[in-house]
Structure 1
Amino acid sequence: MTAAPRRTALIVGASRTLGLALAAEYLRRDFDVIGTVRGSARTGLHDLADTSGGRLTVESLEMTDPEQITALRDRLAGRTLDLLFVSAAVTRGDLPIGEVPTEMFTEVMVTNALSPMRVVEWLHPLVAPNGTIGVMSSSQGSLTLNTRGGQDLYRASKSALNQLMRSHAARHADDPRTLLLVDPGWVRTELGGPYAELSVEESIPGVAETIEDHRGKPGLHFVDHQGQVVPW
């Protein structure tokens, strides 16, 4: 009997922390993995690729550069992705919105909302009809859950990302692909800070399990790393 071919996952923003751990998790789940890094410097993803037996390919992508997104799409032409997941995001401190410089506002919105959606829109045709397209969101993007304020710009960028994914889902209402916004929980990363509730190792297996649990369920789902629905 011929073994079933491995599924393929593309993880955008896989050089460190959550994205790197997600790439490692999908290797453990016997996927072939393509991970992207910014620039040409060696990263933890390269180290992981060295031990992957050829199952992990490293691609260079500056996600905020539209030409690099189209170049990546062209390089991957002919490949079929079972999972496309965008993990990249930035934060620039906890300033009240009135104190946020215009350049900072633009940088965070372009990185956290516009650029992930360009990846989703432009690489969408590479994803198998029964595949999954996911983006790392946050409970901080939830309007309902914002009862304390703070992190104004980061919250706004994630809310914008959620809204843009809803627009994408509405325009592709008949598409059989699964669309996911995933909240990884409050994780001890550069973004989450040292006092966050979860380690990367506690969060990411749940993220992957949530993605797998929603496989084959068309439409847009906003869920956390435990598979629970996050209110909009």
Structure 2
Amino acid sequence: MTFEPVDLNLTDPTTGYLHFVLYTEARLGIASSSLNAELDIEASQTVTPHFQEWLSRLERCEPNAMHCTLVEPTKIPSLFHPCVTEDQNSPAAISGSGCTCRRAFYDPQFGLPVVGEHFKHVGTGDTDQWSYKTYAPLELRPDDIFSSFITGRGLFWARTDKGDLSILPQKHALGYNIGYSGGGPHALAAYLTQIARNNGGTTPAGTPYEDAHPAIVAWTQSSAADRGTNELSLSDLQAMLES
């Protein structure tokens, strides 16, 4: 139902109470910046086939409160400005045909908000590129079974038994990384260890570092893990547990 102020009677002087009403339409899913990890996907990371697969399923939508949490407060108005390719008089236009607009999307499979940031510069060394911000899910969907782990260009994905591609579940303040000895590779190894132990079943993000299997830690910290695109199946991970 569309909100109309006349429908609401916020105060009643005969009762002495104040009634506060929060109105929202959270049909696009729920995420929290205090729980879900925020992902910044740079333009250079968008060239991988797995990112393009994920991008192709996103749907344009009107910005909502969750999109606003992915944008600096002073930049929120840009979510509502058209791209210069749609309106040459857009407030997002710079130097004629340049552009700094933002677009709101959502992932229809996982319900997560996505914001695309356009940077188009006309002049010496013309630039026309998009970067993206979103939240990682805290776990796969209840009926999903993890099939494989994929990494490339610093992005981490999970493929389900249905063939769907998801950003790898990740919790706020437990960022993933590979190719060196540090917290990021250890956090990733801990989560992959728990997935393998759960036979690919429901595995919430946030597995403690100390639960990481040494063989999986050795792989996430290796230079081989950071070379090109890598994919490990569920059986590959389970074999590491036996090593």
TM-score by length of 1: 0.28
Give the structure, 1 or 2, with the largest relative contact order (CA under 8 Å, sep 6 or more). 1
Higher share of residues assigned strand: 2
